[in-house]
Amino acid sequence: MRPVFERHIFPTFDELTATGHEILDKEKAYLFISNHRDIVLDSYILNYFLFIEGFKSAEVAIGDNLLKDGWIKDLVRLNKCFIVKRNLDNAEMLAASKKLSAYIHHTIHQRKESVWIAQRAGRAKDGNDETNRGLINMLGMSSSNGLVTHFKQLNIVPVSISYEFDPCDARKTKELYVESQGIEYSKSEKEDVESMQIGIVEPKGKGHVHFGNPIDVELDSISGDDRKEVISALVQNIDYQIQKNYRLWPSNLIANEIFGFQTEKGDRFENDKEIFVSRMNKMLNGIDGDTSELQRIFLAMYQQPLINKAKHG
């Protein structure tokens, strides 16, 4: 995994860093729950830094809808992936969710192997990193000794992953634009595969991953074992840590300024602003639609992490 990452992925970043891992215990297994920006890179970056910092890499959840090409199956083998079934009917989904919940708990609590899963099923195309309650509900389905105890045994660690430039930002903009027109967006058969390729090979500027604090004490503060209360507390804490620990880049500040808001470092980024606007125009060129609305959606994608981070002081 490391040779592939350093040969093919690392060179597409100007800089790639990690923080927060120093507070984690190398003898423990964790459930890493991160925001989801890129189909392949999010888990690869996390596992790369775990490996070079002396931790065991995590098993990775990947949807079976993505296993369409041979090279993807090779990546799956390299990155210790396990398959999550998609597009099931209600009865099948319930059974699959219970099985997945039991597998994740057994992997962490019994086998002492870490697991990575995204905070939501799809990428946050609008830049708004929020945890899906259904995901947390699924994780608790295999509880047999109280929900709080069950979640504590998972050693949940929220993880924030950020990219200065999202290689798939134009594709995400197009999808959001089509949906904003009241039209159901229909993916081409190869669209996810193409997005995975673009995410790997195209430049991303700087990137950063921050490992948050294990959610433990917060669970102790919950009185009783009310399912709604426990899940709400977990969702709130995961969102808080992911959004607060998200590293902002000039691209986020510039998007905010273009919308008319001031930032502390505003006048330092004139050169960055020219690069950002030029890149935006290039990326959006060729997408059919109202230019100003396409630009608004594109900019909002970069502004949203700043809005989320500001909520937490």
What is the reported pLDDT for 264?
Answer: 66
CATH number for the domain that contains residue 157: 3.40.1130.10
138 domain-assigned: yes
What is the reported pLDDT for 69?
Answer: 67
Q: For 211-221, what is each residue's pLDDT tens digit?
A: 999 998 888 88
Decide: residue 303, CB within 10 A, 0-12 exposed, 13-18 middle, 19+ buried.
buried
287 domain-assigned: no
283 domain-assigned: no
Whole-number Å distance between alpha carbons of 58 and 112: 10
What is the reported pLDDT for 50?
Answer: 97
274 domain-assigned: no
- In residues, how long is the chain? 313
Q: What count of other Cβ atoms lies within 10 Å of the Cβ of residue 218?
A: 16
What is the reported pLDDT for 70?
Answer: 65
261 domain-assigned: no
Q: Any idea which residue has 């509900």 for tokens?
A: 137
82 domain-assigned: yes
What is the reported pLDDT for 228?
Answer: 92
DSSP the chain: -HHHIIIIIGGGEEEEEEESGGGS-TTS--EEEE--S-TTHHHHHHHHHHHHTTPPPPEEEEEGGG--SHHHHHHHHHTTEEEE--S--HHHHHHHHHHHHHHHHIIIIIS---EEEESSSS--TTS-----HHHHHHHTTT-SS-HHHHHHHHTEEEEEEEESS-TTHHHHHHHHHHHHTT------TTHHHHHHHHHHHS--EEEEEEE---S-HHHHT--S--HHHHHHHHHHHHHHHHHHTPPP-HHHHHHHHHTT---TTGGGGHHHHHHHHHHHHHHHTT--S-HHHHHHHHHHHHHHHHHHHHTT-
Per-residue confidence of the chain (313 residues) as pLDDT tens digits?
A: 788 888 889 999 999 999 999 999 999 999 999 999 998 899 999 999 999 999 999 999 988 777 766 677 677 666 788 888 888 889 999 999 999 999 999 999 999 999 999 999 888 999 999 999 999 999 999 999 899 999 999 999 999 999 999 999 999 999 999 999 999 999 888 888 899 899 999 999 999 999 999 998 888 888 677 899 999 999 999 999 999 999 999 999 999 999 998 776 555 677 899 999 999 999 999 999 999 999 999 999 999 999 999 999 7
Q: Do 141 and 98 touch, CB atoms closer than 8 A?
A: yes
- Dmax over CA atoms of the chain, in Å, equals 57
What is the reported pLDDT for 265?
Answer: 59
Give how many domains the chain has, as a whole number.
Answer: 1
Q: Which domain holds residue 52?
A: 2-166+193-248
The Cα angle at residue 262 between residues 260 and 266, in degrees rounded to 5: 115
186 domain-assigned: no
Across the beta sheet with 81-84, what order do the strands follow?
13-19, 205-211, 156-163, 31-34, 115-118, 59-63, 81-84
296 domain-assigned: no
